[in-house]
Each structure stands twice: as C-alpha cells, then as structure tokens.
C-alpha cells in the first residue's frame, strides 16, 4: 500500500511542483484539477496499477485525495 502511495504522490508531484500534497487533501477543492488532468489521472491509475476504471467508478470521491485513489485501487485489485 505504501508503494502505491509513493507512485501516486510521484505522479501528482509532476503537476503540483511547489505544493506538498497531504494524503487527505482534496485536489479538486485546491483548484489543481482541470478536465485534461482528470483524464491523465485516470489513465495513469489504469496503466500503473493494471486496473480498469469503469463509468461506475467515476465518482469524484475516488479521485479527490491520495487516500481515495488508494481505496479505489484496493477495491479494483481484490
């Protein structure tokens, strides 16, 4: 789980260079996300963790925070 967190944090740091993002900080509320980035995030998660994100998974709560993304990955890999 910690390894997955590091991978997500590394990906996000490429976009939020001057901000140390906390595990429960809402990247949407912080204004970091636009529609292009949202699609890049989905594609990264699918490729990096070998999961398929379906329409039913497209709930903002799955993508708002690092911990939310970790829960989605865990759910999809069980």
How is residue 8 written in tokens?
A: 């997500």
Q: Is the pLDDT reported for residue 71 higher than 80?
A: yes
Confidence at residue 34, expressed as pLDDT on a 0 to 100 scale = 87
List of domains in the chain: 2-77 (1.10.1200.10)
DSSP, collapsed to helix, strand or coil, labels residue 16 as coil
pLDDT band for position 65 (cuts 50, 70, 90): very high
14-59 residue pLDDT tens: 888 888 899 999 999 998 888 899 999 999 999 999 999 999 999 9
Cα(23)–Cα(71) distance, integer angstroms: 12
Cα(57)–Cα(32) distance, integer angstroms: 21
Largest CA distance in the chain: 35
Confidence at residue 15, expressed as pLDDT on a 0 to 100 scale = 87
How wide is the angle at C-alpha 7 spanned by C-alphas 46 and 78, nearest 5°? 50
């Amino acid at each position: 789980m910690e390894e997955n967190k590091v991978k997500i944090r590394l990906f996000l740091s490429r976009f939020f260079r001057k901000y140390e993002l906390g595990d429960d900080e809402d990247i949407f509320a912080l204004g970091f996300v636009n529609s292009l980035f949202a699609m890049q995030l989905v594609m990264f998660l699918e490729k990096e963790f070998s999961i398929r994100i379906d329409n039913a998974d497209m709930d903002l709560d799955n993508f708002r925070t690092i911990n939310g993304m970790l829960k989605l990955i865990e759910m999809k890999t069980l």
